[in-house]
Amino acid sequence: MNIIKISNIDSTNNYAAKLVANKELIEETLIYTDYQKQGKGLGKNKWYSEKNKNILASLIVFPEIKVEQHFQLNMIISISICEYLQIKGVSAKIKWPNDIYVKDDKIAGILVENRFYGDKINNSVIGVGLNLNQTDFPSEVLNPVSLKTINNQDYNIENEIKELFLLISKGIKSLQKFKSTGIKSSYLDKLYRYDEWSYFKKENFTFEAKIIDVKNDGYIVLVDKNGNQRDYYFKEVEYNI
């Protein structure tokens, strides 16, 4: 794995995308930074982080998997982050579609940007922000938590980045080799509020439902108390926490 460190940057995902566009890479590459000015989340969301406190990194991979497997890539990344946190003594859950939660607090976010060629994913930029040593957060950041807050200890950022992304890389290689075997069940087992009655929000409407499935294309399947079942894609519905 190639590793590139940049002291500060607008976004590690943006930097990684430029490297890919310029065809400067042919193998797996990790880019990380101490601070990013315009951290990206899903859609128009932003990722806020104090300088020199957290994991801010993007991994460029060439997964060689089918387009229809694109959300399985997200699944294996999410599972790998939960495994990393478990090593640190923290039980985490995957909040669909791209967050990692400890109880009801957010510890990490994921942004996967794929580029396709024909019926395959040609390359993927996998951005991960994980709250490591930060304990003070701006008021606009809702329900944040960090490893330091939980375990009351400081972490070496560089060591933790390498440990985390080695797990992610290993997970992606297993997806390439074994396809989808066991991934779906592992994902659902770690899914936040899976098969529990919870409140969700669609536009200005709040309703009670439970998650009964997440499809391989990323759609979440909800059923309400009247037995009505419906699929939703990213940003069409969200947890009402």
Each residue's pLDDT, cut to its tens digit, for the chain (241 residues) gives: 899 999 889 899 999 999 998 877 668 999 999 998 765 555 455 667 899 999 999 999 998 888 888 899 999 999 999 999 999 999 999 999 999 999 999 999 999 999 998 999 989 999 999 999 999 998 888 899 999 999 999 999 999 999 999 999 999 988 877 666 689 999 999 999 999 999 999 998 999 999 999 998 899 999 999 999 999 999 999 999 7
| 90 plus 208 within the same structural domain | no
Q: What is the pLDDT of residue 38?
A: 60
Residues 110 and 204 in one domain: no
136 lies in the same domain as 26: yes
Residues 178 and 218 occupy one common structural domain:
no
Q: Both 159 and 223 in a single domain?
A: no
Token pair of 108 as six digits: 């990490």
The pLDDT assigned to 157 comes to: 96
Residues 118, 226, single domain; the answer is no
**Residue 92 and residue 191: Cα distance in Å, rounded?**
9
From 168, 189, 210, the end of a domain falls on 189
Half-sphere exposure of 166 (CA within 13 A, CB side): 6
Provide the token pair at 26: 């042919």
Number of separate domains in the chain: 2
- Domain, as residue range, for 227: 198-239
Integer Cα distance of 190 and 92 in angstroms: 8
Q: pTM score > 0.75 for this model?
A: yes
Helix, strand, coil % over all residues of the chain, rounded to 5: 25, 35, 35
Return the exposure string of 206-230: e unless at least 16 CB atoms fall within 10 Å of the residue's CB, then b: eeebbbebbeeebbbebbeeeeeee
Query: Which pLDDT does position 44 carry in this prediction?
Result: 54
Does residue 202 share a domain with residue 185? no
Q: How far apart are CA 49 and CA 131, in angstroms?
A: 8
Residues 36 and 149 in one domain: yes
181 shares its domain with 205: no
Give the pLDDT confidence score for residue 66 in this predicted structure.
86
Same domain, 145 and 68: yes
The pLDDT of residue 241: 79
Please give the structure tokens belonging to residue 158.
């560089």
pLDDT for 43:
47
- Partners of 206 in the β-ladder: 201
pLDDT at 166: 96
CATH of the domain at 127: 3.30.930.10
208 in the same domain as 184? no
Contact 95, 108 (CB under 8 A): no
CA atoms within 13 A on the CB side of 84: 28
Same domain? For 27 and 103 the reply is yes
